[in-house]
A and B are shown apart, each in its own frame.
Chain A
Amino acid sequence: MGYDILVVDDSAVTRKVVIRALSMTGLEVGVVHEAEDGLEALAVLDNEWIDIVFADLNMPRMDGVELIGKMAEDDRLESTPVIVITSDRNELRLAELKAQGVRAHLNKPFRPETLREVMTQVLGAPEGDEHGS
């Protein structure tokens, strides 16, 4: 049984890049859901079990910061880990996001190896992982 994942980004290309990178991490990936913005993401989170959320920051209707805030306010979602995928490398902003509960961030462009490292850091090393100790 793999990780069920939600990828939130208004760019269809970026969502596909993330999904492709996930398939190259060597980690067990279950169902991957997609959402174009925070509002769609909340609808998915309302109906599906999600192990981890990858979220962009700049999105229409509801951006990543607001999505993270909404999740933190919801008892059902507050412990769901969020990894921000962003072009913004500003340390001040990333520190603000961490203070709001974001577990980690990935700067675009990124490699599947980096994605794997971040997921392992956030979710812990998977059992039977051929790359683990």
Chain B
Amino acid sequence: MDRDTLRSALEAATRQVLEEAAFLFTEPSTEPIDKASWPGSVIQVQLAFTGPIRGHFMLAASPELCSSLAVEMLGAEPGEPEAEAQFEDAVGEILNMVAGLTLDQAIQGKALWELGVPEARSMSPGEYLSGPRSDVRVRLDTDEEEPVEVAIFIEEGGR
């Protein structure tokens, strides 16, 4: 599968989902992610998929941004603790929607896919950057220049 097509679909899907589900507007950025991109910890979410190809989607963002996503998705007041506490569930759902939309836009309904269950983990920026890096990767920056990185890791073989 063409990497450029996947990357374009991933970027478009992520921007659309963030806007429609969480009212978060983003712009693509070519700046590389580094340790300074996230001053504190990073929330990394992964979601496996199988089909004609298999692999997993990944999304990384700060815990603060993930909490904001939860607040917006739930229509809660900013800073509401109960809403903010659901940030892992919220960002997992965001990635679930991104994966479905990306696969649909990239393949245009010509194949059946199975999506796994999102799994979230907190880590340091150093640990995140020392992990595997995909060439199908997009950085998006929010209005406040906070980065969100999404990527697709493709494994050899399919279903």
Give CA–CA (A128, B59) in the complex, Å: 46
A70 at the interface (CB under 8 A from B): no
Q: Mark the stretch among B29-37, B86-94, B127-135, B141-149 that contacts chain A.
A: B86-94
Q: Which residue of A lies closest to B111 (CB)?
A: A90
- Contact digits for A86-111, partner B, Cβ 8 Å, 1 yes 0 no: 11111111000000000000011101
Give CA–CA (A17, B21) in the complex, Å: 9
A1 at the interface (CB under 8 A from B): no
Query: In the complex, which range does the number of interface residues on chain A fall in?
Result: 20 to 34
Q: Which residue of A lies closest to B113 (CB)?
A: A90
How far, in Å, is A92 (CB) from chain B's closest CB? 6
- Contact digits for B26-69, partner A, Cβ 8 Å, 1 yes 0 no: 00000000000000000000000000000000000000000000
- Majority SS of interface residues in chain B? helix
A92 touches B89 (CB 8 A): no
A43 at the interface (CB under 8 A from B): no
A11 touches B112 (CB 8 A): no
- Contact digits for B76-119, partner A, Cβ 8 Å, 1 yes 0 no: 00000000001001101100110111011000010111011100
B113 is contacted by which of A12, A60, A88, A111 (Cβ under 8 Å)? A88
How far, in Å, is B78 (CB) from chain A's closest CB? 16
B104 touches A13 (CB 8 A): no
How far, in Å, is B30 (CB) from chain A's closest CB? 27
A25 at the interface (CB under 8 A from B): no
B17 at the interface (CB under 8 A from A): yes
A87 touches B70 (CB 8 A): no
Q: Which residue of A lies closest to B95 (CB)?
A: A87
**A11-B89, A11-B92, A91-B109 in contact; A86/B74 too (CB < 8 A)?**
no
How far, in Å, is A39 (CB) from chain B's closest CB? 16
* Residues of chain A within 8 A of B96, CB atoms compared: 11, 87, 108
A13 touches B109 (CB 8 A): no
A14 at the interface (CB under 8 A from B): yes
Interface pairs (11), CB distance under 8 Å: A11-B89, A13-B90, A17-B73, A86-B100, A87-B96, A87-B115, A88-B100, A89-B104, A90-B104, A90-B111, A108-B21
> CB within 8 Å of A: which residues of B?
17, 20-21, 70, 73-75, 86, 89-90, 92-93, 96-97, 99-101, 103-104, 109, 111-113, 115-117
